[in-house]
Structure 1
Amino acid sequence: MRRLINICMAALVFGLTSAAADEFLFSSNRLTPKGEYTAGIEGPAVDATGNLFVVNYHQKGTVGRLRPGAEQSELFATLPAGSVGNGIRFSQDGRMYIADYRKHNVLVMEAGQTAAHVYFHSSHFNQPNDLAIAADGTLYASDPSFAHGSGQIWRIERKSDGSSGAVMLCDRKMGTTNGIDLSPDGKTLYVSESQSREVWAYELQGARLTSARLVKKFDSGELDGLRTDIDGKIFVTRPTKGTVAVLTSDGNLVREIKLSAANPTNLTFGGPDGKTVYVTQADGGYIESFFVDRPGR
């Protein structure tokens, strides 16, 4: 791994051809041992000090941590009884938010703590899946119903006495909402729909999703986790195909990054310069990573 890092840095410093740089920058390799996580491996999210957090470490209902430079994960926390995590996000003040699809919650861990408590709960959740967070701390949660091929998006605000949330209004009937992230300016919300294989863009108008726009429809496979980079490019995992697709905001396919196994579930940006992409891989239960040329949002 260290050799790969050095080669990658050399490519950037000494100006290799774009083809050679692409070979090093977008080449994915397994980062942690196989079997560290269950087939429900998800998350992932990086905190301000570079630690990577991923759910379902060895068993359901846990959160694992991979420290910077480490080659193996470790148990970070066990969630409340019956809770199983999916997406994770960090706020600017270091709070960790976890989508708890089993108990219809969004959980929170205060900065420096390992005990999770309920931040927001609703019996109207289908199964909160993935999270995006705005600069002001507002959370957006994808909420799919795989059984019905449908979904919705929740907007959850932080209040002085807790939180409040509601399903966002939208003019179109959504499919199975899954991956979710904001544009760099915070004005657009991108959502992947698993079964329709579509990525959609919405303008945010308070509690409404407006100006729905189809960004990209893929011909095959499914879609899962989604993240944006600082330029607004969209990175989306494609389970069964075993790739991460990179799109421009208007839907042009920039590249597809081949992964080490077939079922990536989610991804996040991290590393000292924000240019490392970590991918959770259900086939084998491990984390893999690759380097990119621009940092995440």
Structure 2
Amino acid sequence: MPAVAEVLFRAVPLTAAHSFTPGIEGPAVDAAGNIYAVNFGRQQTIGVVTPQGVARELLALPGESVANGLRFGRDGTLYVADYVGHNILRVAPGGNAALPFAHEAGMTQPNDIAITADGVLYASDPDWEHNSGRVWRIDRDGTVTLAADGMGTANGIEVSPDGRTLYVNESVQRTIWAFTIQADGSLADKRLLRRFADFGMDGMRVDVDGNLYVTRHGKGSVVKLSPAGKLLREIRLPGARPSNICFGGPDGRTAYVTEVEHGRLLQFRVDRPGLEWQRLR
């Protein structure tokens, strides 16, 4: 019998509705394929979900800290954007405690995190009250440096596969910008990649070809853009407010989306692996 064609780009729920709070964000996938997302069951937590959809609480954050973006380093360290404490926290491989890694009192609220192949972090920092934002660089020793100022509401953030470009979107302004990452980690040559006429944006990730998957918060979709910003595809979701996205699965071709309206994780299959999955191999 001929093989049954795989269904691509059709989103379905992975976890039960309202298993996460409306603060569901993250997400990130470890080398074993488990998916991590924040605010599982209650605020100030990080939950872990198996590829089969079985979820549990991994840890609770200290003090008043509340997590948003998550990223894994190549060594299995989980980095956590704590937007209340103005921190980047880290969880050791196999650990269940989030410990301080970097702190910057000048941050408004570290939101999403991107990571380079050699472990340098970039964090978006939106100021929603003033519709402005910045980007910070966090070096491997925890040193924090202002990388870009004078932006709109900086939110989703990602690094291209060749490590030469940083993408940052602005939710209120509905724009995606590209920066050149220079040899010292500083940013230059800011240029417009894409502008949308309606609806905001939140998290985004690249696949191994450099295509950018962007969640359209309020529209209930994920768009796939070429490295030049061309719209390649739009994937409809069962939920109007997707907050972020990551890649995993047995071959890196499963996209996982945190979905606010129903407090759950969604999943859909894609045609090419995600970059973050490839780097954890």
TM-score if structure 1 supplies the norm length?
Answer: 0.90
Equivalent residue number for residue 198 of structure 2: 220
Alpha-carbon separation, structure 1, partners of 2:14 and 2:32: 19
For the 8 Å contact 1:100–1:128, the answer to whether it is kept is: yes
Equivalent residue number for residue 38 of structure 2: 55
TM-score if structure 2 supplies the norm length?
Answer: 0.95
Equivalent residue number for residue 40 of structure 1: 23
Residue 207 (structure 1) shift: 4.2
Equivalent residue number for residue 89 of structure 1: 71
Equivalent residue number for residue 168 of structure 1: 147
- Aligned to 1:119, which of 98, 101, 107? 101
For the 8 Å contact 2:82–2:110, the answer to whether it is kept is: yes
Q: Residues 209-250 of structure 1, C-alpha deviation per residue, up to 9 Å, x if partnerless?
A: 211111110010101001011001111001110000111111
> Hey, which bits of structure 1, 4+ residues long, moved more than 2 A?
none
Alpha-carbon separation, structure 2, partners of 1:239 and 1:138: 27
Equivalent residue number for residue 236 of structure 2: 258
Alpha-carbon separation, structure 2, partners of 1:26 and 1:62: 30
Alpha-carbon separation, structure 1, partners of 2:186 and 2:132: 18
In our comparison, the structure showing a higher alpha carbon Rg is 1
For the 8 Å contact 2:136–2:148, the answer to whether it is kept is: no
The one-letter code matched in structure 1 to 2:174 is: R
Residue 72 (structure 1) shift: 3.0
- Aligned to 2:4, which of 6, 10, 31? 10
Runs of 5+ unmatched residues, structure 2: 276-281
Structure holding more helix per residue: 1
| Identity among equivalent pairs (%) | 47
Residue 258 (structure 1) shift: 0.2
Runs of 5+ unmatched residues, structure 1: 1-6, 13-23
Correspondence list, 1:285-296, <5 A: 285-296=263-274
For the 8 Å contact 1:33–1:72, the answer to whether it is kept is: no
Q: Does 1:209 align with 2:203?
A: no
Shift in alpha-carbon separation, 1:207–1:185, aligned structure 2, 3 A: closer
The DSSP-based 3-state class of the residue aligned with 2:140 is strand
For the 8 Å contact 1:182–1:190, the answer to whether it is kept is: yes
Alpha-carbon separation, structure 2, partners of 1:178 and 1:33: 27
The DSSP-based 3-state class of the residue aligned with 1:11 is coil
Equivalent residue number for residue 17 of structure 1: none
Q: Residues 29-76 of structure 1, C-alpha deviation per residue, up to 9 Å, x if partnerless?
A: 11110010000100000001111000000111000000132x331111
The one-letter code matched in structure 2 to 1:237 is: T
Residue 169 (structure 1) shift: 4.3
Equivalent residue number for residue 226 of structure 2: 248
Alpha-carbon separation, structure 2, partners of 1:154 and 1:81: 23
Q: Residues 168-203 of structure 1, C-alpha deviation per residue, up to 9 Å, x if partnerless?
A: 146xx3111000111000110011110011111110
Equivalent residue number for residue 128 of structure 1: 110
Q: Residues 255-292 of structure 1, C-alpha deviation per residue, up to 9 Å, x if partnerless?
A: 11000010000000000110000000000100001000
How many correspondences in the alignment? 273
Q: Residues 108-158 of structure 1, C-alpha deviation per residue, up to 9 Å, x if partnerless?
A: 011111011110001101100000111111111011101111111111011
- Aligned to 1:198, which of 175, 181, 191? 175
